[in-house]
A and B are shown apart, each in its own frame.
Chain A
Amino acid sequence: MTSLNFKPRVPVFDANLRVGDLRDEPAPYRNRDELLAELDRHGVERALIYHAQAENISPIDGNNYLEAWLGDDGRTYPQWMVMPTADSLSQIQSLHAEGRVDCVRLFDTGQRDLPFRPWAYNTLLSWLSESRIPVWIPLLDADADDLVTTLQAYPDLVSVLVGAHYVHALWVRPVLTALPNAHLELSRYEPICEIEALRDEFGAERLVYGSWYSRYAMGPMLFYLHHTNLSDAELASVCAGNLEHILQGGTQ
């Protein structure tokens, strides 16, 4: 039953939330308290967060800025950005030595003409795979062939594919078929009835809720998921359980 006002009926752990300002786009909230207020307004308990500057300018600086957004209340979890350079990997390895790395997010090096290929990413992906650290991979400008052939070279590496859009409609099924350890984050995936269809074909355990706030409004995809024919158990998995499993190093 739809109402003019919406709150989720299952616990929610957002798998894709950006904090801080992009260089050309201020965030709609200025500090952690304001972010938590927006989480509360939408009934979201926890969020995996990365810093906008890590996506926009420098993974290393962005990761440093992220520290200010991490409280000790268990509501925000760090997602460190990484790129295939010695400096970036060294930063992540230091954090890992402190027991602070549950996942990483790949900086899109394609925007600087370094493709997502094993010859460019082997050192990084080998270490992530050996360390059982799951990796989030934005799809905005990704190359499908690079994505599949590279990830197939690291079959134990767990991945979350972020931001699939209707322009990726031809990709999604063959990519999920070719990569059994890949999950699909849902913030932009709007082809009609496709979330239910992907649940039928691949199982709810392959789907992960993310809002991609503040790129997108926080509520719409959460509302959508609550108005599908996913069972409550499936909904709970998509909204939180699958992410918890991934962060604990789980594979399919």
Chain B
Amino acid sequence: MIDGTQVIDFHGHVGRWDPLGMKDDPDLMLHAMDSAGIDKSCLFNIFHPDGTTGNDLLARFVAQYPDRFIGFAYVSPMMPERMIPELTRAIDELKFPAIKLYPPYTPWPFNQPQWHPIYEFADERGLAVLFHTNGGVLSRPRYLAEIAPRYPNAKFVAGHSGNTAEPRAEAIAAAQAHPNVYLETCSTYRTPGVIEQLVNEAGADRVLFGSDTTLMDPRPQLGKIITARISDDAKRQILGGNARRLLGL
């Protein structure tokens, strides 16, 4: 909690990636969260294309601290026959409230038909879908402007807000054009003025705090929001208000 605002980190990973120092140790995560006032972290496991393996590992992880961690369902079009059954299971049985997708672990840009059954599912359920976005051909934020109007009940979130200037402009343009597109803030680049740009050009009600924990410590990513030249009201929306609305909390 920061000045009465419940803080929700919308972007986090479980699973170890030791060569990069990524450790999904709940004690480390809670220490980092508690040191800075982060109440809840949204987590996903993107390392298993079947979806089921990672989602089950995630469910057990979240169950250790169900008031602090929120699981997002992961599936991949690399195993298309499993996508919808696994999404149905993860949402209905594991009680995950949103979906995470990671195009770089597939050969298909996320505007291609292989992904569309996932968007239809999200649209029917009114779910949020968080994408990895950047300047790579698989993950360009401009694809959001194609899919968002076709699935108006789903909410599409550009993870990293495109990461660098050109794809970031695409992400902002998609958010300006479509009310169901949102921008998430984590990035190793930490370029000056980016948070201000997202707020000024897309609106504070469309920006979500994310950290990329446990690949990155959530505290410097939180510091991007706290030290940005934006209003306190904008900070409150970004830190938690918008995430609560998207997740129905």
State the A residues within 8 Å of B (CB).
1-6, 28, 41-42, 165-167, 169-170, 188, 190-195, 213-224, 227-229
Chain B residues whose CB sits within 8 angstroms of the CB of A28 once the complex forms: 192-193
Given the known A-B contacts A220-B220, A223-B220, are A192 and B192 also in contact in the complex, defined by CB atoms under 8 Å? no
Chain A residues whose CB sits within 8 angstroms of the CB of B35 once the complex forms: 227-229
State the total of A-B contacts with C-beta under 8 angstroms: 118
A224, B23: Cβ atoms closer than 8 Å: no
Q: Is the interface of A mostly helix, strand, loop or mixed?
A: loop
Name the CB-closest residue of A to B20: A166
Please report which residues of chain B, range 1-46, place their CB below 8 angstroms from some CB of chain A when the two chains form the complex. 2-3, 5, 19-23, 28-29, 31-32, 35-37
B28, A193: Cβ atoms closer than 8 Å: yes
Chain B residues whose CB sits within 8 angstroms of the CB of A224 once the complex forms: 217, 219-220, 223
Chain A residues whose CB sits within 8 angstroms of the CB of B32 once the complex forms: 192-193
Cα(A6)–Cα(B236), bound, Å: 15
A214, B28: Cβ atoms closer than 8 Å: no
Chain B residues whose CB sits within 8 angstroms of the CB of A41 once the complex forms: 229
Chain A residues whose CB sits within 8 angstroms of the CB of B226 once the complex forms: 2-6, 219, 223
A223, B215: Cβ atoms closer than 8 Å: no
Please report which residues of chain B, range 177-206, place their CB below 8 angstroms from some CB of chain A when the two chains form the complex. 188-194
A2, B2: Cβ atoms closer than 8 Å: yes
Cα(A169)–Cα(B222), bound, Å: 21
Cα(A167)–Cα(B188), bound, Å: 11
State the B residues within 8 Å of A (CB).
2-3, 5, 19-23, 28-29, 31-32, 35-37, 188-194, 213-224, 226-229, 232, 235-236
Name the CB-closest residue of A to B192: A217
> What is the distance, in angstroms, from A212's C-beta to the closest C-beta of chain B?
9
A192, B21: Cβ atoms closer than 8 Å: yes
> What is the distance, in angstroms, from A74's C-beta to the closest C-beta of chain B?
24
Chain B residues whose CB sits within 8 angstroms of the CB of A3 once the complex forms: 2-3, 226
Given the known A-B contacts A191-B22, A192-B23, A221-B223, are A216 and B192 also in contact in the complex, defined by CB atoms under 8 Å? yes
Chain B residues whose CB sits within 8 angstroms of the CB of A193 once the complex forms: 28, 31-32, 217
B190, A167: Cβ atoms closer than 8 Å: no
> What is the distance, in angstroms, from B15's C-beta to the closest C-beta of chain A?
13
B23, A219: Cβ atoms closer than 8 Å: no
Chain A residues whose CB sits within 8 angstroms of the CB of B192 once the complex forms: 28, 213-214, 216-218
Q: State which of A4, A166, A188 has its C-beta within 8 Å of the C-beta of B21.
A: A166
B190, A217: Cβ atoms closer than 8 Å: yes
Q: State which of B193, B194, B217 has its C-beta within 8 Å of the C-beta of A191.
A: B217
Cα(A170)–Cα(B21), bound, Å: 7
> What is the distance, in angstroms, from B24's C-beta to the closest C-beta of chain A?
9
A194, B21: Cβ atoms closer than 8 Å: yes
Given the known A-B contacts A170-B19, A193-B217, A220-B220, are A188 and B188 also in contact in the complex, defined by CB atoms under 8 Å? yes
Q: State which of A1, A166, A216, A217 has its C-beta within 8 Å of the C-beta of B216.
A: A166
